[in-house]
Amino acid sequence: MNLNEVKNGIVRLIKKAETELPQDVIFALEKAYKIETGVAKTQIGAILENIKLAKNSGRPMCQDTGIQTFFVEVGADFPNISQLKDLISDSVKIATREIPLRPNTIDPFSSINHADNTGNHIPYITWDFTEGRDVIITAFPKGGGSENMSKLGMLKPGVGIDGVKDFVVEEMIKAAGNPCPPTVVGIGIGGGADLSLKLGKKALLRPVGVRHKDKSIAAIEEELIKRINDSGIGPMGLGGKTTVLDVHIEKAHRHPASLPVGIVVQCWADRRAKMIIHSNGSWEVK
């Protein structure tokens, strides 16, 4: 396997994520543009113009190019498993220079910027193992402004699902214009503290407009979209009809005493891109 060629592929993956939004997000923004008026319309208009400009000029759409985050599905028979972590990390360093990306990794104690978007635990990689010989990598660069609006609620089970819904709506109203609405909201319900937040983040990988396959959960997603949008917070918190583009829920079974709710917010720049690396080292970025 030509490892340099694989690195080129991962750099291409990062570039695609940073400079081109997935079609499902663009479609949702275009729909929002049609229904908004006044100031809200100017905001969605600027977003759409910005998306076009970034794609055409190959520049990151937002100066906050995020914490480099990857979800990796490893086929158990892929030959170079032990090298994957270094390949991703090296590619992040190359991407930082070449695309370029903003250096976004700061030591929490010394405040020194590591300057290449790597550092302790970063890039942040979530590993899953599957059958087969291919590796699938999803790049999910995550901005700080929206991440700051994440929330963990360890609710009392007695409040029930109605309590969960109220918690989410209240938190999103409190977040107001800070996470760059219109946002996509990922909600993990159940598990423990860490798992609920993890599921919240994973929920964001689902394309905008796709409902949960369980109809009763899908109905709750729709109810939350409506309630948050009825708040009138609107694009950038300046007022309008579109505060969220979508709400995605994932669940885990919970401890009888706990009802954890992890909310993870993604800005309108819902950046995602996917690649497949085959066992011979050839790759495709989708």
Partner 1 sequence: MEYHLNIPVEDDEIKKLKVGDIIYISGKLFTARDEAHHMILEKDSIPFDPSEMGLYHCGPLMKKNNGKWQVVSAGPTTSSRMELFEDRLLEKYAIKIVIGKGGMGKNTQKALQKYICVYASYTGGAGALAADKIEEVEKVYWLDELSMPEAVWIFKVKEFGPLVVAMDTHGNSIYDKIRK
Can you give the binding site for partner 1, defined by CB under 8 A? 39, 42-43, 46-47, 49-50, 53-54, 57, 59-65, 100-104, 106, 111, 113, 115, 143, 145, 148, 176-178, 180, 231-239, 267-269
Whether the CB-CB separation of 278 and 2 falls below 8 Å is answered with no
Instruction: Give the C-alpha separation, 102 to 21, whole Å.
Output: 18
Instruction: Give the C-alpha separation, 286 to 283, whole Å.
Output: 10
Whether the CB-CB separation of 273 and 235 falls below 8 Å is answered with no
Closer Cβ to partner 1, 135 or 175, answer by number: 175
Closer Cβ to partner 1, 54 or 224, answer by number: 54
Closer Cβ to partner 1, 113 or 258, answer by number: 113
Closer Cβ to partner 1, 64 or 90, answer by number: 64
Spell out where the chain has E strands: 69-75, 124-130, 135-139, 151-155, 183-191, 244-254, 259-266, 273-277, 283-285
Tokens encoding 109: 């104690």
Write down the least CB distance from residue 10 to partner 1, Å: 20
Write down the least CB distance from residue 272 to partner 1, Å: 15
Whether the CB-CB separation of 42 and 52 falls below 8 Å is answered with no
Write down the least CB distance from residue 59 to partner 1, Å: 5
Write down the least CB distance from residue 25 to partner 1, Å: 12
Cα angle for residues 77, 201, 106 (degrees, 5° grid): 95
The full DSSP string for 18-70 is: HH---HHHHHHHHHHHHH--HHHHHHHHHHHHHHHHHHHHT--SSS---B-EE
Write down the least CB distance from residue 224 to partner 1, Å: 19
Closer Cβ to partner 1, 142 or 198, answer by number: 142
Closer Cβ to partner 1, 45 or 281, answer by number: 45
Write down the least CB distance from residue 61 to partner 1, Å: 6
